[in-house]
């Protein structure tokens, strides 16, 4: 057997897995169709929100907290600042299910969280306007992670620890054999005892049975002065409007505030369809109503980028071995909130390669849930 673990897709999750598995003494081969970090996957655009009181469900909280510990450890190994504790403000109508989940997660896991009404919110952050039936939940320990720097660091540390890396070389097929897994690439066929498939949006190209829908997403930087900056204590944020649209955003840097719309987007079926920002009519204007209502002090759209989500049918992650390939672990369906979990998911892949089975705590992420539906 050539390797203990072959990683197909070395972006956010694969890069972390490559580092932790190599550190654990495993013989690891990381494969990627590009050279991470890059603009072809889901990890570019400089920054990602990190939050722990989790509106998407309590099942994510232990992963988020474990990841925070690992991000803090990674920070010690970095010359650059990876994580900035800006706090994350979650805004929405008082009856929002998301906000009620945030509050529930915080109380179950003793995560610091300040609940504030609309008046208090606007007094504390005068840059924000909300209707009076809105509330805010501020998680002071949340913040902003520099995603591309984090991926670059994982890749470098894995390489320095002795990990083999085959980049700019797509995997074209994976097969379960009697002794493990084979992976075909243009550079040859590679054999490993275990496989991590972490090919993000395009995992379904290798395994068409995966229930994943690729979605084109855009995000953009808007003019916003120092009032919206971390230096002025402006927080990172998530926001839900009364029509259900949801947005996320970051404190301004160099007079530009990055914002994206979490809901919506365009289903696509090939990487070529992820056309650049500005190609779809709504690209430049999709955050306009939100900014006018909630952040009226921001200005014009300066520039934007296109990226992609991989959505599962119920919106939750997929973390499971494959029925047809028990030596393969797949981690995908991370949609628009998977980056913060990269180190914990990398650790899970490492433990899988060491022969441990998927823990019951991850049962809600199994593929079998779709058959039961
Ligand atoms: C606009 C946007 C905003 C987001 N905001 C947040 C946020 O604020 N907080 C948060 O936690 N998460 C956020 N996310 C989600 C997060 O970025 C993703 O969930 C995460 O990056 C997915 O990681 P991944 O490893 O699955 O995919 P990627 O990082 O895209 O890695 C997949 C890798 O697989 C490679 N690959 C694909 N096919 C092949 C093949 N055949 N052979 C070899 N390699 C292949 C790709 O080149 C790529 O490098 C956001 C995502 C987007 C798009």
Q: Which domains does the chain have, with CATH numbers?
A: 3-43+148-210+314-372 (3.50.50.60), 88-140+213-311 (3.30.9.10)
Catalytic residues: 44, 47-48, 258, 262, 307, 340
Give the number of the atom of ligand 1 that is nearest the alpha carbon of residue 248. Answer: 8
Query: Does residue 339 have its Cβ closer than 6 Å to ligand 1?
Result: yes
Q: What was the pLDDT predicted at 15?
A: 98
User: Which residues are CB-neighbours of 118 under 8 A, at least 6 positions away?
Assistant: 130, 131, 132, 133, 134, 135, 136
Predicted local confidence at residue 369, as pLDDT: 94
CA dihedral (261, 16, 81, 316) in degrees, to 10, reads: 20
CA of 350 to the centre of ligand 1 (A): 19
Upper half-sphere CA count for residue 285 (Cβ side, 13 Å): 3
- Per-10-residue mean pLDDT, the chain, length 373: 94 98 98 97 97 97 98 97 98 98 98 98 98 98 98 98 98 96 97 98 95 97 97 98 96 98 96 95 92 96 96 97 95 97 98 94 94 61
CA distance 236 to 225: 15
Does 327 sit in the ligand 1 pocket, CB within 6 Å?
A: no
Ligand 1 closest atom vs CA 309: 53
* Cα 11 to ligand 1 centre (Å): 6
Q: Check residue 373 and give its pLDDT.
A: 45
188 φψ region: left (φ > 0), alpha (ψ -120 to 50), beta (else): left
Question: Can you give the pLDDT at residue 344?
Answer: 98
Atom of ligand 1 nearest to the CA of 41: 30
The ligand 1 atom nearest the CA atom of 217: 1
Q: How far apart are CA 283 and CA 25, in angstroms?
A: 46
Asked if 86 and 79 count as a contact pair (C-beta separation under 8 A), the reply is no
Cα–Cα distances (Å) from 268 to 147, 162, 307, in that order, read 24, 37, 11
Q: Helix, strand, coil % (nearest 5) of the chain?
A: 30, 30, 40
Ligand 1 proximity of 68 Cβ (cutoff 6 Å): no
Q: Which of 54, 260, 335, 336 to mutate to test the pocket of ligand 1 (most atoms within 8 A of CB)?
A: 336
* C-beta neighbour count of 111 within 10 angstroms: 20
**12 Cβ inside 6 Å of ligand 1:** yes
Å from CA of 126 to ligand 1 middle: 34
Mutational test site, ligand 1, from 12, 214, 216, max ligand atoms within 8 Å of CB: 12
For residue 116, what pLDDT is reported? 98
Compute the distance from residue 201 Cα to the ligand 1 centre, in Å: 7
309 lines ligand 1 (CB under 6 A): yes
Q: What is the pTM of this model?
A: 0.97
- Give the model's pLDDT for residue 372: 57
In angstroms, what is the span from residue 37 Cα to ligand 1's centroid?
Answer: 10
- H or E stretch at 145: strand 143-146
């Amino acid at each position: 057997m050539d390797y203990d673990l072959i990683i197909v897709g070395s972006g956010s999750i694969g890069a972390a897995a490559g580092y932790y598995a190599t550190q654990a003494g495993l013989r690891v081969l990381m494969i990627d169709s590009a050279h991470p970090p890059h603009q072809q996957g889901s990890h570019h655009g400089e920054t990602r929100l990190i939050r722990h009181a989790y509106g998407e469900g309590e099942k994510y909280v232990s992963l988020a907290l474990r990841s925070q510990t690992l991000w803090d450890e990674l920070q010690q190994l970095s010359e650059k600042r990876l994580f900035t504790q800006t706090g994350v403000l979650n805004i929405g109508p008082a009856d929002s299910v998301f906000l009620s989940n945030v509050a529930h997660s915080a109380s179950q896991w003793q995560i610091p969280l300040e609940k504030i009404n609309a008046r208090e919110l606007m007094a504390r952050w005068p840059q924000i306007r909300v209707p009076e039936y809105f509330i805010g939940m501020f998680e002071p320990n949340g913040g902003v992670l520099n995603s591309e720097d984090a991926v670059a660091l994982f890749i470098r540390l894995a390489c320095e620890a002795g990990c083999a890396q085959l980049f700019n070389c797509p995997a074209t097929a994976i097969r379960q054999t009697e002794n493990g897994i084979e992976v075909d690439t243009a550079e040859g066929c590679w054999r490993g005892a275990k496989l991590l498939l972490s090919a993000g949006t395009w995992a379904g190209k290798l395994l068409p049975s995966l229930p994943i829908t690729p979605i084109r997403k855009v995000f953009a930087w808007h003019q916003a002065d120092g009032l919206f900056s971390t230096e002025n204590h402006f927080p990172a944020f998530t926001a839900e409007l009364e029509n259900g649209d949801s947005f996320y955003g970051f404190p301004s840097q160099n007079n530009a505030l990055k914002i994206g719309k979490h809901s919506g987007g365009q289903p696509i079926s090939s990487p070529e369809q992820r056309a650049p920002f500005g190609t779809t009519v709504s690209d430049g204007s999709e955050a306009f109503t939100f900014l006018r209502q909630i952040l009226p002090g921001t200005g014009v759209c300066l520039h934007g980028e296109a990226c992609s989500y991989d959505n599962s049918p119920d919106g939750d992650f997929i973390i499971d071995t494959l029925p047809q390939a028990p030596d393969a672990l797949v981690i995908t369906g991370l949609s628009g909130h998977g980056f913060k979990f990269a180190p914990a998911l990398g650790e899970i892949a490492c433990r899988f390669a060491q022969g441990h089975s998927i823990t019951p705590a991850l049962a809600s992420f199994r593929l079998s849930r779709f058959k039961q539906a």
